[in-house]
Structure 1
Amino acid sequence: MKLALFDDHRLGVVEDTADGGHVVDVTAALTWPHDPDPVTAGWWRRLCRDYGEIRERLAAAAAAGPRTPLADVRLRAPALNPSKIVACASNYADHVAEMHGVQERTLGGVESWMMRFDVFLKAPSSLSGPAEDIVLPEEVVAAGQEIHHESELVIVVGRGGTDIAEEEALDRVAGYTLGLDVTVRSAADRSRRKSYDTFSPLGPWITTADEITDPGGLEIRLDVNGEVRQDVHTRDLMTPVPRIVAYASSMMTLLPGDLIFTGAPPGVGPLTPGDRLHARISRIGDLRLNVREG
């Protein structure tokens, strides 16, 4: 099932078809109150936790409800106020290799510790949706610092937990979506240079985990102004999804609705005002985003 948030943070089930697709509003099928305020919307985190219990109700509502063309709604980021955004660093071998050149150019040398897999945190306020632009901070552009795109598979945590065993990890996942980890190339802490507003575009919706039983079987592609920048397969993740979930949960409790960016594929590159991005992940969907200076 593809679950979207749209308009006033309504819950929709998406049918993604060749004619542009439709969404069915299934908000009324929830068995708990729907709070449209994204700051206090605990209903969304509960959905991530209890999706298995309500799946059949949502499917029935989607089958019976009226369809609205996706072109007629405003898609929102398919996440509401997660307690945290966890992100993976150095998780594709070819990206690690290319970062030597990037760091030589932007930092004047290679930071060896940044070439090892690990996780870090991004501000939840950096989330933005399919209808929003990526906004490059004026002061960063004026300083001549490069701002790069990183298109990634994103895990949406379901039941979550602490010290999750790797063999149980996929059972704790609610679904998957597409995200861009936009980043300033500088000597600053990762969390600082990756947490500007709009630096975590997310969408267009979540494909639930019962439809993606193998998250290592997905293709990721990003075009910038029609030029292919990133084209990779998630089987190339050095630390695969189950191990990512287990590792992250060994140091922090993963809560329902938390997001985990799985790492940048090779092909990262600079963004400039006026750029048009087209990112997609097989079995999930597409994001088309514009870039502007703020």
Structure 2
Amino acid sequence: MRLALFDDNRLGVVTGDALVDVTHALPWPHDPDPLLAGWWRRLCRDFAELAPALRAAADAGPELPLESVLLGAPVLAPTKIIASASNYQAHVDEMHAVQHRTLGQVESWMMNFDIFLKAPSSIVGPQGPIVLPRPVLDEGSEIHHESELVVVIGAGGKDIAVEDALDHVLGYTIGLDITVRSAADRSRRKSYDTFSPLGPWLTTGDEAGDPADFDIRLTCNGELRQAVNTAALITPVPQIIAYASRMMTLNPGDVIFTGAPPGVGPILPGDTLDTSISRLGTMRMAVEAERTAVSG
């Protein structure tokens, strides 16, 4: 099933080039306030129980053309965004040159797999745009795209076993981990507003299939920059989930970026990013400059 959030944070099931509003099939009142997103986290936790009613509502229609609705990010107010660092060997290799250019040296500790946190307020939906901060542009720091497979947690947990990890996944979506290349902490460099685009919808695990066999592609202004299969992940999805859950409880609706493939590169105002993941969809994002600098 492909779940979309659209218009006033209503719930839709995507069918081809259309969606069906299934909000009425939820067994509790719908609150559109994204900061009071308990209904969404409850859906993530209890999806197996809700799925039959949602499928029946989707089959009953009516369909709304996708171009007639405003798609939002297919998550609401996650308690955290967990991101994976240094999880494709070819990306680790290319980062030596990137860090020499942007930092003047290689930070060896950053070449090892680990996880870090991004601000949930950095999430933006598939209709964007990505807004590049004026102070960062003025100082001349590079800002890069990183197209990634993103996991959305269903039933949460602590100390999750690797063999049980995929049972804790609601589904998958496309993500961009937008990154300032500077000496600042990872979480700071990656947490600006709009630096976590997600979309266009969430594909549940039963429909998406094996997370170790997704093809990821990204073009910038039509130029192919990233192309990889998730089979190349150093730390596969089940191991990421198990590792993260040893340090922090994973809550329903939490978001996990699985790591940047090779081919990262700078983006500038006016650019257009097209990213796709097999079986999950495609997403086009415009890049803009912040219009006014923040004082103080």
Q: TM-score, normalised by structure 1?
A: 0.98
1:27-66 equivalent positions in 2, closer than 5 A: 27-66=23-62
Please give the alpha-carbon distance, in whole angstroms, between the structure 2 residues aligned to 1:293 and 1:210.
39
The residue identity in structure 2 corresponding to 1:264 is: A
Structure 2 residue aligned with 1:267 = 263
Structure 2 residue aligned with 1:285 = 281
| Residue pair 1:91, 1:117 contacting (<8 A) in 2 also | yes
Q: Residues 10-35 of structure 1: CA distance to partner in whole angstroms, max 9, x if unpaired?
A: 0000013xxxx001000000012211
Is 2:242 the counterpart of 1:242? no
Is 2:182 the counterpart of 1:189? no
| Residue pair 2:208, 2:280 contacting (<8 A) in 1 also | no
Q: Residues 36-62 of structure 1: CA distance to partner in whole angstroms, max 9, x if unpaired?
A: 000001100111111100101000000
Is 2:170 the counterpart of 1:150? no
Please give the alpha-carbon distance, in whole angstroms, between the structure 1 residues aligned to 2:102 and 2:30.
46
| Residue pair 1:34, 1:41 contacting (<8 A) in 2 also | no
| Residue pair 2:88, 2:234 contacting (<8 A) in 1 also | yes
Structure 2 residue aligned with 1:129 = 125
Please give the alpha-carbon distance, in whole angstroms, between the structure 1 residues aligned to 2:220 and 2:236.
27
| Residue pair 1:150, 1:268 contacting (<8 A) in 2 also | yes
Q: What is the CA-CA distance between 1:211 and the residue it aligns to?
A: 1.2
The residue identity in structure 1 corresponding to 2:15 is: E
The residue identity in structure 2 corresponding to 1:117 is: F
Structure 1 residue aligned with 2:13 = 13
Taking only aligned residues, the RMSD between alpha carbons, in angstroms, comes to: 0.5
Q: 1:212 aligns with which of 208, 225, 229?
A: 208
Percent sequence identity is 68
The residue identity in structure 2 corresponding to 1:215 is: P
Structure 2: gaps of 5 or more residues: 291-296
Please give the alpha-carbon distance, in whole angstroms, between the structure 1 residues aligned to 2:186 and 2:227.
24
Structure 1: gaps of 5 or more residues: none
Please give the alpha-carbon distance, in whole angstroms, between the structure 2 residues aligned to 1:190 and 1:132.
22
1:79-118 equivalent positions in 2, closer than 5 A: 79-118=75-114
The residue identity in structure 2 corresponding to 1:5 is: L
Aligned length: 290
Q: What is the CA-CA distance between 1:212 and the residue it aligns to?
A: 2.4
The residue identity in structure 2 corresponding to 1:271 is: I
Please give the alpha-carbon distance, in whole angstroms, between the structure 2 residues aligned to 1:238 and 1:30.
39
Q: What is the CA-CA distance between 1:291 and the residue it aligns to?
A: 0.3
Is 2:67 the counterpart of 1:71? yes
3-state secondary structure, aligned to 2:247:
coil
Structure 1 residue aligned with 2:156 = 160
